């Protein structure tokens, strides 16, 4: 059974139809890349799945439950979280306070301790800086904080929107390594990326979006051998 199943998903902002009825499935244990040029509808898709923008029509089923109109704070306890594009951390709160905000639905003390331990083990720098304002962190550290916050509710499905955007090459490599580590820990991942080559290196499969539609899909191998036409869709050189 797919972990996530999306049927005829449509997202609108007033007259702008950002996502025009797309369908796809994500299976447990997969890393699936969403690729496509700016404005293709990738963030709108992820934000709609995560309940941050309304679904105009269509259906989203997570682990057998219809979540089409669920709010984000209902989804986290069910096991699905989004690390949004642009990180959206709170600069005037400490690292620890930012992390605590991600612990939706974690009421049990032992579960909470396990969440802290996991995040601080993945990101020792966040432990070192736990009492600092998040605004004082570097861009890479802020991205780690954003991912760490998403992990505090122990998701089975993590949606990552442009995790490497604006980061130095060395940090980008760390982010991609992290994606592999999370998969090894049993997390299923959907990753929106501008870094097509690196995304296809780590992903099992991918979807290419253009103009609010899925215009191509396949294994990472198939997509990376794609011709010039697809290269255009991907916004690659």
Ligand X SMILES: Nc1ncnc2c1ncn2[C@@H]1O[C@H](COP(=O)(O)OP(=O)(O)O)[C@@H](O)[C@H]1O
What residues make contact with ligand X under the rule CB under 6 A? 13, 16, 18, 36, 38-44
CB neighbourhood size of 75 (10 A): 26
Alpha helices in 5-134 (DSSP H): 42-49, 72-78, 95-101, 109-122, 124-128
Query: CB of 109: closest distance to ligand X in angstroms?
Result: 38
Helix (H, G, I), strand (E, B) or coil at 148: helix
Closer to Mg ion by Cβ: residue 45 or 154? 45
Judged by the rule CB under 5 A, the positions of this chain that interact with Mg ion are 43, 85
- Cβ of residue 64: shortest distance to ligand X, in angstroms? 27
Partner whose binding site includes residue 28, from ligand X, Mg ion, none (CB under 5 to 8 Å by kind)? none
Task: Assess contact for 164 and 172: CB atoms under 8 A.
Answer: yes
Q: Which residue is nearest to Mg ion (CB)?
A: 43
Binder of residue 231, out of Mg ion, ligand X, none (CB less than 5 to 8 A by kind): none
**Of 165 and 202, which has the nearer Cβ to ligand X?**
165
Question: Smallest distance from the beta carbon of 41 to Mg ion, in angstroms?
Answer: 8
DSSP state of 167: -
Contacted entry of Mg ion, ligand X, none for residue 155, CB cut-off 5 to 8 Å set by kind: none
State the virtual CA torsion across 158, 74, 7, 187 in degrees, nearest 10: 20
First to last CA, the chain: 38
| Cα gap 157→30, rounded to integer Å | 10
Q: Which does 18 bind (CB under 5 to 8 A by kind): Mg ion, ligand X, none?
A: ligand X
CB of 30 to ligand X, least distance (A): 20
């Amino acid at each position: 059974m797919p972990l996530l199943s999306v049927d005829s998903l449509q997202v609108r902002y007033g007259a702008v139809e950002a996502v025009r009825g797309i369908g796809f499935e994500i299976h447990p244990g997969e890393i699936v890349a969403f690729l496509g040029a700016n404005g293709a509808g990738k963030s709108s898709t992820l934000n709609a799945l995560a309940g941050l923008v309304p679904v105009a029509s269509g259906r989203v089923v997570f682990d057998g439950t219809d979540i089409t109109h669920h709010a984000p704070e209902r989804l986290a306890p069910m096991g699905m979280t989004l690390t949004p594009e642009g990180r959206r951390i709170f600069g005037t709160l400490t690292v620890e306070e930012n992390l605590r905000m991600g612990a939706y639905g974690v009421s049990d003390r032992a579960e909470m301790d396990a969440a802290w331990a996991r995040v601080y083990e993945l990101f020792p720098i966040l432990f070192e800086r736990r009492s600092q304002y998040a605004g004082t962190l570097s861009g890479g550290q802020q991205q780690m904080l954003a991912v760490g916050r998403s992990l505090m509710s122990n998701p089975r499905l993590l949606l990552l929107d442009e995790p490497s955007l604006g980061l130095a090459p060395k940090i980008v490599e760390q982010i991609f390594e992290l994606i592999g580590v999370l998969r090894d820990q049993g997390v299923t991942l959907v990753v929106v990326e501008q870094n097509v080559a690196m995304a296809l290196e780590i992903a099992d499969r991918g979807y290419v979006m253009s103009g609010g539609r899925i215009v191509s899909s396949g294994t990472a191998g198939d997509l990376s051998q794609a011709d010039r036409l697809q290269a255009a869709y991907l916004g690659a050189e």
